[in-house]
Structure 1
Amino acid sequence: MAETQTNPLWNEAKIKNYLPHMTVPEVETFLTKSDLVIIPIGALEQHSSHLPIGTDFINGVELCKLIAQERDVLVAPVLMAGQSPYHMAFAGTISLSAETIIRVHMETVESLVQNGFNRFIFMNSHGGNRAITTFLVDQINQKTSAVAVDYGVAIAPFLTPEKTEKATSLDRHAGVGETSDSLYLMPSLVEIDRATEPGVHHPKHLEKMLPDVIKEEPTAKLLFLAEGLKAEETGKKTSTVEMTKTGVWGELHPKEATLERGANNAKRMVAACSKFIDKWNEYLQ
């Protein structure tokens, strides 16, 4: 008889404080130390030809795992997909309604509260989920016994300045920044040789705003993002495929991405979140 072998595709190592890998006794032991949970809210959407559909979800989970190696926080991802209607012209994109995303996470929190968890950090790892995350955090605080915070708001006071030159070009979805992060967080899934020139164009009035948007001028950025990257059915002419056939929303070639930039960014995030958790824990002592 041929020797029995395990699944040839399995190469995953067990990660500390990562709920899908944990046993019941391990969760019970964790609860004797902490009642804190971090939940990434990602997306399954096109990321051009060089990054995978799951970029936002995977990067979010991996960053949360890194935080959980530094502090006692449970990593509990429950949804891969997010709100991505503006990418639907690209094969593989999945978009959920805001109502679905909120309901799933509300029920997740209710389950974990029943287990004994009481504090929650929601990490939005996809720009299209920003408003959903804000509303979700508020609903948890208003309707449950748990306390929830938005990761981005929580870590902001603890973030050190990013070590990059001042931006001179638009660089958002699937661009240099996101590709750099991916080179650090999920290196084996980045196919940088397949990256192509962005070829992005915007409606004329948005193009006029662009110089100020790049400078982070508040009003320009607010208006640009309110209208930019919206579903085709809105008629705004700013869905991804209407602005760029490559799927990259930016002017820089993704091949300019560097591992160093991604590593620095991830370490900044982990350090900032660790300091926030320390402060939160300090208030409960």
Structure 2
Amino acid sequence: MKNVWLQENKWQDVEGYLKTKKTILVPFGSVEQHAHHLPLGTDSFLAQKVAEDVGRSTNTLVAPPVWTGWAPHHMAYPGTITLRPETLTAVAEDTLQSLIYHGFEKILIVNGHREANLPPLKIAMTRLRNKTGAFIAIVDAFYFNAEAGKRLRKSAPGGIGHAEELEASHMFYLYPELCDPAKTATNIADKHPFLQHDPYAEGDRVLTASDVAGYREATNGIGLMGDAAPSDAVTGEAYHKAFLENLTELIRYCEEEVKVNVRKPDIPL
């Protein structure tokens, strides 16, 4: 493909692509506060860049990004845009159903709004799997790039959360012009271990909900949850490369090993 982005191609290009390849990447992100050192579009920027880089190296099409996600807690800070969860589910379902209608059979959602977007996206994915038989997987950095995250982190337990060292390092490497490293900070909350948000800290934990006022307080009035102080572009480069390696292997596995029997769906109406 001359252009990795679906929207930059002509319909004939897509028709030709589908004769030999049925896989497509779909980036989902969010527009939400990321403390004082990262831009509002961080989640979307990272999802797009991961998808674009892997798309180029594997000759895999990338669908237009979905910029907004489910982020009600981040409404505590100006600039955040949130969708209702049912809206995000509907957007995801209609987007993927359109792609399946045209002949895409293996869809990899690259989710930049780590963890928070998962409930709405999993509902859409499950509905379409049962409706069409297509293979759909969600690639979420908290889980898909977990081994690299555990290996590369420098912060103490509680240091991984939101706008922290892994997310910040990734941005410092890919989009340094949009970041302000001098404004990184540390906000590791003194919580009961069951309430700890850090996905890589040892121990058992529960899932809790946040309200706007509570999230503002928990993020210390700056929007940070965790430790951004150890962030650096070198770590971000290693984290990015590990992500690309994993996603490249997933694409290979999907194309060579995953068998599907897809039923063409109706047009979303």
Alpha-carbon spacing, 1:242–1:121, altered in 2? closer, same or farther (3 Å) = same
1:58 and 1:129 mapped to 2: Cα distance? 15
Residue type at the aligned position of 1:142: N
Q: Paired residue for 1:181?
A: 170
1:273–1:242 CA distance, 2 compared to 1 (3 A): closer
State the alpha-carbon separation in 2 of the partners of residues 211 and 110 from structure 1: 37
* From 95, 112, 124, the counterpart of 1:136: 124
One-letter identity of the residue aligned with 1:173: H
1:227 aligns with 2:230: no
Q: Aligned in 2, Cα 1:157/1:257: closer, same or farther, shift over 3 Å?
A: closer
Is the CA contact (8 Å cut-off) linking 2:55 and 2:61 kept in structure 1? yes
Give identity over the alignment, percent. Answer: 23
Provide the C-alpha distance between the structure 2 equivalents of 1:109 and 1:276, rounded to a whole number of angstroms: 19
Rg: which structure is higher? 1
Show the counterpart of 2:201.
Answer: 216
Which TM-score applies when normalising by structure 2? Answer: 0.83
The 1:89–1:187 alpha-carbon spacing in structure 2 relative to 1, beyond 3 Å, is same
1:159 and 1:279, CA in 2 relative to 1: closer, same or farther beyond 3 A? farther
Residue aligning to 1:4: none
- Once residues 248 and 54 of structure 1 are traced to their aligned partners in structure 2, the CA distance between those partners, rounded to angstroms, is 15
Give the conservation status (yes or no) of the 8 Å contact 1:82–1:101: yes
Tell me the equivalent position of 1:41. 28
Q: Summarize the Cα distance change of 1:78–1:104 in structure 2 as closer, same or farther, 3 Å threshold.
A: farther
**Aligned-partner Cα distance in 1 for 2:251–2:239:** 18
Paired position in structure 2 for 1:6 = none
Q: Does structure 2 conserve the Cα–Cα contact (< 8 Å) formed by 1:240 and 1:247?
A: yes
**Cα 1:266/1:157, change in 2 over 3 Å:** closer
Give the Cα–Cα distance (whole angstroms) in 2 for the partners of residues 214 and 111 of structure 1. 34
User: What corresponds to 1:248 in structure 2?
Assistant: 224
d(CA) in 2 for partners of 1:157, 1:54: 20
Looking at structure 2, the residues matched to 284 and 239 of structure 1 have their Cα atoms a distance apart, in angstroms, of 41
Question: Quick one: which of 86, 90, 97 aligns to 1:99?
Answer: 86
| Aligned counterpart for 1:191 among listed residues 161, 180, 183 | 180
Partner letter of residue 249 of structure 1? M
* Structure 1 residue 199 displacement after superposition: 4.6
Change (3 A) 1:231 1:212: closer
Once residues 126 and 167 of structure 2 are traced to their aligned partners in structure 1, the CA distance between those partners, rounded to angstroms, is 28
Q: Number of aligned pairs?
A: 256
**Amino acid in the other structure paired with 2:137:** V
Deviation at residue 70 of structure 1 after TM alignment: 1.9
* Cα distance, 1:120 vs structure 2: 0.7
Higher relative helix content: 1
Aligned-pair CA distance for 1:255: 4.3
Q: Distance in 2 between matches of 1:273 and 1:182?
A: 19
Farther-moved stretch of structure 1 (34-43 vs 241-250): 241-250
Query: SS of the residue aligned with 1:181?
Result: helix
Are residue 150 (structure 1) and residue 138 (structure 2) matched?
yes
- 1:47 match: secondary structure: coil
From 41, 44, 49, give the equivalent of 1:62: 49
What letter is aligned with 1:216?
A
- Hey, what's the Cα distance between the residues in 2 that align with 1:105 and 1:182? 25
Match of 2:156 in 1: 168
Write the deviation string for residues 72-130 of structure 1: whole angstroms up to 9, x where unpaired.
32211342110111111210001111111111111112211222212111122113112
Do structure 1's residue 257 and structure 2's residue 245 form an aligned pair?
no
Q: Which residue does 1:7 correspond to in 2?
A: none
- What amino acid maps onto 2:109 in structure 1? F
SS at 1:39 equivalent:
strand
Q: Deviation at 1:36?
A: 0.7
